[in-house]
Structure 1
């Protein structure tokens, strides 16, 4: 139990840092953070809301990202080493661990993306690209 409480506090601090560093027009909300049966990993599910013309900025995650565009008509995903992807509601995407990427709402309506991440315990959900 002690380890679980300590881990939960660590996650809360990391999430607060990520949320506090967000830009206007981009809001990422953690919906779930769950320990997994895979050693040293946990699963995080988020909802990102992105206003028209706003970008997530180039960043990485310490684990894989599975994304689902829940709302919006023009969400551009840029993953280093791959051609740009233009997505709309109902589309999915995948970002390998530690890969620099970003997303931008290039449409006129708000975009909502559900992301699921399988990340290393003790690491931040997201880090700006170098």
Structure 2
């Protein structure tokens, strides 16, 4: 009888109480569950890796604040640390910013001007309310001594959409 396929008879299954070919039905369910669980484990592992691979956010530490002689204005000096590969995002300030690069290399883009690369020892200037962004395309932490002459009581930075 080679080449002739015979159909296996259905029997009442002891595991679920239904009539079917006993081994095949449960194997399909078990295989489907195993595949689904494997996919879930892989997705969780990939998600955890992606999260751990993301660079840390930039950090702005205020070092000093003082009132300016102009009413309603203050000066804020801060240490800004931008890890390698981080793009903090386009934003504005309610006043002028002067940045002095202490460590690393950065790309500074200010709306209306071409992007420039600055390195340790260089400085840059951003006018009040002018959209800009500072990106660390390197692999090490870049540090900026930033001085802001801003309107008192307003947030130091306002994020902008891309």
- The TM-score with structure 2 as length reference comes to 0.64
Instruction: Kindly indicate whether residue 63 of structure 2 is the aligned counterpart of residue 42 of structure 1.
Output: no
TM-superposed CA distance for 1:31, in Å, is: 0.4
Coordinate RMSD, CA, aligned = 1.2
Aligned to 1:83: 114
Q: Distance in 2 between matches of 1:46 and 1:96?
A: 17
8 Å CA contact 2:57–2:88 kept in 1: the answer is: no
Instruction: Kindly indicate whether residue 84 of structure 2 is the aligned counterpart of residue 55 of structure 1.
Output: no
TM-superposed CA distance for 1:24, in Å, is: 2.8
- The TM-score with structure 1 as length reference comes to 0.79
Choose between structure 1 and 2: higher helix proportion: 2
Q: Which runs of 5+ in 1 are unaligned?
A: 1-22
Q: Distance in 1 between matches of 2:152 and 2:84?
A: 33
1:64 aligned counterpart, secondary structure: strand
TM-superposed CA distance for 1:25, in Å, is: 3.0
Q: Distance in 2 between matches of 1:80 and 1:129?
A: 12
Q: Distance in 1 between matches of 2:118 and 2:155?
A: 26
Q: Distance in 2 between matches of 1:24 and 1:111?
A: 13
Aligned to 2:149: 118
Aligned to 1:7: none
TM-superposed CA distance for 1:36, in Å, is: 1.0
Larger radius of gyration: 2
Choose between structure 1 and 2: higher strand proportion: 1
8 Å CA contact 2:57–2:83 kept in 1: the answer is: yes
8 Å CA contact 2:65–2:75 kept in 1: the answer is: yes
TM-superposed CA distance for 1:129, in Å, is: 1.5
